[in-house]
Amino acid sequence: MSILTVTASTGSYPVLVEHNALAQLPQWLAALKLRGTLWLAYDAALEALYAQPLRDMLGAEGYSVKTYAIPSGEQSKSQQQLWQLYDWLIGGGVERRDTLLALGGGVVGDLAGYAAASVLRGIGLVQLPTTLLSMVDAAVGGKTAINHPLGKNLIGAFYPPRLVVADTATLASLSPRERCAGWAEVIKHGVIRDVALFDDLERYAAGGRRQEAESRSNSTLVGEQHASDRLSADSEQLADLVRRAVKVKVDVVSADEHEQGERITLNYGHTIGHAIETVAGYGILLHGEAVAIGLHAAASIAARVGLCDTTLVMRQQRLLHAYGLETQFPVGIDRDAILYATLRDKKVQNARIRWVLPTAIGRVVVRDDIAPALVRAVVLELP
C-alpha cells in the first residue's frame, strides 16, 4: 500500500494510488469516521461498470448511499448542472455530517467538489478519480470549479477533500483517446519538477519503439502502439508512474495550497490550453489534448525568449507524440481569439499574463514580462 499525504489548511488528507484501491474504500471511510449518508455523484457512463458495484459494496457495509448520474462531458461543468446537484442534495435532506463521493473524471470531481464546498457551507468530500488526468491533477489539491462562457474554471473554490482514492485498475476501461489525454498532465509534471519521471517516460516509450521495430521485422505486428496503449496492460508500471506523477502534485499543493507561489507552476501549458478549450467550445477537445498543445506552445515561447534551447522543445514534443498526443492547433481555429482568451486566464495579474515557462527538464520559471507581440508571433507561426 502506498499512501501520499497532502497538507491542507484544514488538516492533512490521504491519497491512495494503487491497483484495485476502490476495494479499500469502506475501511478508509470508517477510519476517517465518515458515517453519515454517502451521496455518490458519478459520471453517467460509469453506472454499470463502477457506480452500481460501489453502491452495493458500501450498502453491504451498512452505509446509506444515494446516487446521482452526471451527464458525461465538459458541458456538465455548468451552472445548470450545479443547480441540479443542489436540488438532489437539498431535496434529499443532506446534512452537514454527510459526505459526497465524486466518482469519475475531472468534470465530476470539479463539479461535485464545488457542490460539496458550497451546500450547507460545506459537507465532506471524497474524490474517486477514474481517469488518468483526474488522478494526477484534478482530484488532488482541493480546486473545485464550474466553467463560465468567458473562460474555463472561473467560478469555484479551494476545498480539500477528506480522502482521494485513485484506483489505477479503472484506467483499463478508458478509451484510447482518454488514456492518451491523461498523459499530458503526467508529462507536464516531469517537465516542471521531476527529471527522473520525464526520463523514465522517455525510456518506456523508446523501449516500446524498439520492441515494435523488432516485431515489425518479424511480421508479427500490424500498425503502431503508443506508449499509452502498452501501459494500460502493464498494471505495475502504470501504478508506479501514476503514483510518481501524483506525488509531484501532492508536494506542490502541500507547499502552496491556495496558489500564492509555487502552485502556479502546475499551470504549465494551461494558459493556451484553456484558451483553446474556450474558443473551440468545451468538449470539442479533451482537456489533456488542449494542454498538450499548450505545453508545446509554452516551450516554444520559452525558446523564443532564450529561456531554453530548441532541444527541450523537440524532446518534449517527441514525448507527447510517443504517448499519442498531438501538438498542432485544431484546423481552422481562430488564433487571435485564442490570444484574446488568454487575457482572462486566472493567472493574469495587473493585466499581465504570468507565463509558466521551462528552462530545463525539471525546472520552470514564472514570467510576466513576455511581450504580447512575441506570444502572438509564436501562436500564429506554430502548425
Which of the following is catalytic: 143, 189, 243, 347?
A: 143
Which of the following is catalytic: 18, 178, 185, 257?
A: 185
Active site residue 259: yes
Active site residue 35: no
DSSP assignment of 199-214 equals HHHHHHHHHHHHHHHH
11-18/163-167 β-pairing: parallel
Active site residue 121: yes
| Among 120, 122, 86, 85, CA closest to 104 | 85
CA atoms within 13 A on the CB side of 5: 3
18: which 3 cell numbers?
Answer: 494503487
Most distant CA pair in the chain, distance: 64
Active site residue 258: no
Which of the following is catalytic: 77, 152, 270, 296?
A: 270
- Give the gyration radius of the chain's Cα atoms: 20
Dist CA 182 CA 228 (whole Å): 9
Active site residue 226: no
In three-state secondary structure terms, 7 is: strand
Active site residue 270: yes
Contact call for residues 282 and 371 (beta carbons, < 8 A): no
Which of the following is catalytic: 226, 263, 296, 346?
A: 263
Which of the following is catalytic: 77, 179, 243, 249?
A: 249
Contact call for residues 90 and 119 (beta carbons, < 8 A): yes
Active site residue 267: yes
Which of the following is catalytic: 55, 77, 274, 347?
A: 274
Contact call for residues 199 and 207 (beta carbons, < 8 A): no
9: which 3 cell numbers?
Answer: 489548511
Active site residue 249: yes
Which of the following is catalytic: 77, 267, 304, 347?
A: 267
Active site residue 153: no
Active site residue 178: no
Which of the following is catalytic: 121, 210, 218, 236?
A: 121
Contact call for residues 296 and 310 (beta carbons, < 8 A): no
Residues in a beta bridge with 68? 41
SS3 assignment for 328-363: CCCCCCCHHHHHHHHCCCCCCECCECCEEEEEECCE
Mind telling me the catalytic residues? 121, 143, 185, 249, 259, 263, 267, 270, 274, 287
